[in-house]
Copies of this chain bind each other. A is one copy, B any other.
Amino acid sequence: MTSYPTLLETFKQLLKGSGFKFTKQRELVLKVLYENEGHFTPEDLYNLIKSKHPDINLGIATVYRTLTLLEESGIVNSISFGSKGKKYEMGLKEHHDHLICIECGRLIEFQDETIEKLQEEIAQKFNFKMTDHIMNITGICEACQTASK
């Protein structure tokens, strides 16, 4: 797992390389994502940052803009919830996929080497230049199955 300073450096390099600037707001979005394990909506992040750093000025628009930037750079990943928006997570650990509970919204991560390999093969087969891949299994988690009995 990449350490925060290293990650920060990577981010700065990326910004510099594209002629973008390093700002307090951008750093905070990255930091909060790094320090908090989990999946967050843009609003979650906005509130988190506001509560942990009441001193700084921050608009929700900046959170959206920064997340887009981070996602394009491959630093964070997003997962879509239909009309319920997106959630974001740090994308530097090994690639993994998600089990999503349709009852409680819980997210469980898993990874499977074989699936990863198959995805690459498929992309190749269609002459597709793969930039990302996601697999979501939706269903009802153990807890919710028990609860509804």
Residues of A near any B CB (own CB < 8 A): 78, 80-83, 85-86, 99, 101-102, 108, 110, 112, 114-115, 118-119, 122-123, 125-142, 145
Chain B: CB-nearest residue to A71 = B82
- Please state if A136 and B139 are interface contacts (CB–CB under 8 Å): no
A116 smallest CB distance to B (angstroms): 11
- Please state if A127 and B99 are interface contacts (CB–CB under 8 Å): no
- CB < 8 Å neighbour of A139 from B80, B83, B123, B125: B123
What would 29 A/B residue contacts be, using CB atoms closer than 8 Å? A80-B80, A80-B81, A80-B82, A83-B86, A99-B128, A101-B128, A102-B131, A108-B126, A108-B128, A112-B122, A114-B114, A115-B118, A119-B137, A122-B137, A123-B139, A126-B141, A126-B142, A128-B140, A128-B141, A128-B142, A129-B139, A129-B145, A130-B137, A131-B138, A132-B137, A133-B136, A134-B135, A135-B135, A135-B136
- Please state if A128 and B139 are interface contacts (CB–CB under 8 Å): yes
A122 smallest CB distance to B (angstroms): 6
B residues within 8 A CB of A134?
Answer: 135-136, 138
What is the CA–CA distance of A129 and B143 in the complex, to the nearest angstrom? 11
B residues within 8 A CB of A78?
Answer: 82
Chain B: CB-nearest residue to A121 = B112
B residues within 8 A CB of A130?
Answer: 137-139
A62 smallest CB distance to B (angstroms): 17
